[in-house]
Amino acid sequence: MKSEEVARLAGVSRSTVSRVINNYSNVPDETREKVMKVVREHNYMPNTSARVLAGKGTDTIGLFIFNVHDENNPGHIYGNSYFGPFVNAVVDRCNHNGYSVLIHTLYKEADCLRIPAAFSEKRMDGAILIGTEKNEAIDQLIARADHPLAIVDYNPRAVSLSASPQARIITVNSGDDAGIADCVDYLAGLGHCRIGFITGRLLTWSAERRLRGFKACMKGRSLHVAPQWMLSGDFSRQKTLVAMQAMLVAGDLPTALIASNDDMALVAIDTLRNAGLRVPEDISVIGYDDGLAAPLVRPALTTVRMPFLEMAGSAVEGLVALLADEEPAIHTVTLPVRLIVRESCAPPS
């Protein structure tokens, strides 16, 4: 079924069919109804490629997910398990706004070239990037951006500095430093002063900010940041395990540990427990994300709640707004986080 047949059956021209389909105003109700009747009866839907080629937008948004392969557990590609709900929320909001979403997974820097490629091929009108790791390809993308971009978890200043003059970009972050500050405040309030930290993937803006926030906050409270309690977790279970074991072997332990995500916190708890230590009696542990498992594990995990849905919403709405307007614009939004106190922390013994 094509518009020509609809036109014939309705006794009008293809132009008119097009006007009705696109809901243009200069069509009398009678004509419109005549056409719609045929459309409904035959379930006509316009060929997307033809529309796009004729000048319409693709009405599709590209979603690019940076994924971390856990070398030790190749099956477990959702290294960033928080992507699940996030992806879902993005798809949902896009669909509600009338956009389809083309989803891609990226594993290495070279994969980033698929973003400009998808624009070149005219497969999408704009793109959302999540879990972005800083690298050359992304810098180039931002520097040459000629299509709207929503970048989740990225340094807004880096964008402002390097974006092309006609760029339309929105960065979406959450209050990573405030979240970590809440953790430190809470632990300090409990009486802890020997606080360790497990870092995330530092190429990631959130991981970097959590680390920086930790150092700044500790400094603000004149608390010593002991190098032997700074563990390199890299958002990886395996790396966290190794770092934890090394610390346990060394024998000098903090009384509390803040992990840059839930997954690493869970591994930390596990390792501690296997070493015969009790959580939270012997050592307190805080996570970050408030993922699906956090309320279910025992002790239930005290953690910082990431506003995934709100971030997804901001990214989509922001992108849709950029799509609707030709004006260059660089926006940034930072959403608040909240410490969710459960059972994994206690005063130092």
| Binding region for a copy of itself (CB under 8 A) | 43-50, 52-53, 58, 60, 63, 65, 67, 75-78, 81, 83-85, 87-89, 91-92, 95, 100-105, 117-118, 120-123, 266-267, 270, 273, 292-293, 296-298, 308-309
Q: Do the beta carbons of residue 232 and residue 202 sit within 8 Å? A: no
CA diameter of the chain = 86
Contacts 24+ apart (CB under 8 A), 210-214: 210/176, 210/177, 210/179, 210/180, 210/260, 210/288, 211/260, 212/177, 213/176, 213/177, 213/178, 213/179, 213/180, 213/181, 214/180, 214/184, 214/258
> What DSSP designation does 64 have?
E
Binds 13: which of a copy of itself, DNA, none (CB < 5-8 Å by kind): DNA
Six token digits for residue 339: 């410490």
Would you say 55 or 98 has its CB closer to DNA?
Answer: 55
Beta bridge partners of 325: none
Binds 26: which of a copy of itself, DNA, none (CB < 5-8 Å by kind): DNA
Q: Is 2 in the site for DNA (CB under 7 A)?
A: yes
CB 209, min distance to a copy of itself, A: 24
Q: Interface with DNA by CB under 7 A: which range of 18-26, 103-111, 173-181, 327-335?
A: 18-26
> What DSSP designation does 146 have?
-
Q: Is 258 in the site for DNA (CB under 7 A)?
A: no
CB 43, min distance to DNA, A: 12
Q: Interface with DNA by CB under 7 A: which range of 3-11, 163-171, 226-234, 282-290?
A: 3-11
Q: Is 3 in the site for DNA (CB under 7 A)?
A: yes
List the interface residues with DNA, window 43-82 (CB under 7 A).
44, 46-47, 50-51, 53-56
Q: Interface with DNA by CB under 7 A: which range of 23-31, 139-147, 238-246, 281-289?
A: 23-31
Binds 14: which of a copy of itself, DNA, none (CB < 5-8 Å by kind): DNA
Cα 43 from Cα 325, distance rounded (Å)? 32
Nearest Cα to 309, choosing from 156, 91, 125?
91
